[in-house]
Chains A and B, each alone.
Chain A
Amino acid sequence: GAVVSQHPSWVICKSGTSVKIECRSLDFQATTMFWYRQFPKQSLMLMATSNEGSKATYEQGVEKDKFLINHASLTLSTLTVTSAHPEDSSFYICRGTRGWHTEAFFGQGTRLTVV
């Protein structure tokens, strides 16, 4: 079945630095990539939707200058957390879609810890 590979699975960075998270669709072309954030014991919160070759659409309250999303190809989307702060520590998950019935294509998630 289709797979979305997300890396890194965990990362620790210093406050003020930037971190890049990658999501690759391994055997399908992800025309759309959704990026979620999940706090401990909470649900998934949609941060942004990116379509290949165009600017991402951010949900209300999500800082687009802090969370930079690039979807330059049909197989790769990246989320860069810029000037990270401890409050950005969270679990980030991507989901790739290629149309309908692609609800299963989640990445493995990235646990970000900012110290």
Chain B
Amino acid sequence: AQTVTQSQPEMSVQEAETVTLSCTYDTSESDYYLFWYKQPPSRQMILVIRQEAYKQQNATENRFSVNFQKAAKSFSLKISDSQLGDAAMYFCAYRSASGTASKLTFGTGTRLQVTL
């Protein structure tokens, strides 16, 4: 079974600064997808970024980028130019590329605080 680990329960960053959230995972599969989700106080789950394991290039979405290290099974999220609206819970998630069910396995989350 796959597992996803987020070792940072809480992180803090100053506005306009850069912060990196860590995620590691364990799998025996070679093809899979990794995601970062944001859950603001409204608790609506928002997909931030997606990475396909077969792609070596790191995914980027505006101020959000990932550092995907397949051999190390590491998938960190970098938020540049942090904004107050970035304050939220962030979850790392894994999905297998095989089979028909698109189950997601979530990490325990990192609470990000953004300070002035």
Interface residue ranges, A against B (CB under 8 Å): 32, 34, 38, 41-44, 46, 49, 91, 93, 95, 97, 99-104, 106, 108-109, 111
Q: Can you give 9 contacting A-B residue pairs, CB < 8 Å? A: A42-B109, A43-B109, A44-B91, A103-B50, A103-B102, A106-B45, A108-B42, A108-B44, A109-B43
Is B43's CB under 8 angstroms from A91's CB? yes
Contact of A32 among B43, B50, B102, B109 (CB under 8 A): B102
Judge whether B106 is part of the interface by a CB distance below 8 angstroms: yes
Place the interface of chain B in its size category: 20 to 34
Within 8 A of A (CB), among B66-116: 91, 93, 95, 101-104, 106-109, 111
| Cα-based distance from A14 to B49 in the complex (angstroms) | 40
| Residues on the B chain within 8 Å of A49, using CB | 101, 103
Contact of A46 among B91, B103, B111 (CB under 8 A): B103
| Residues on the B chain within 8 Å of A104, using CB | 46-47
| Residues on the A chain within 8 Å of B104, using CB | 34, 44, 46, 95, 103
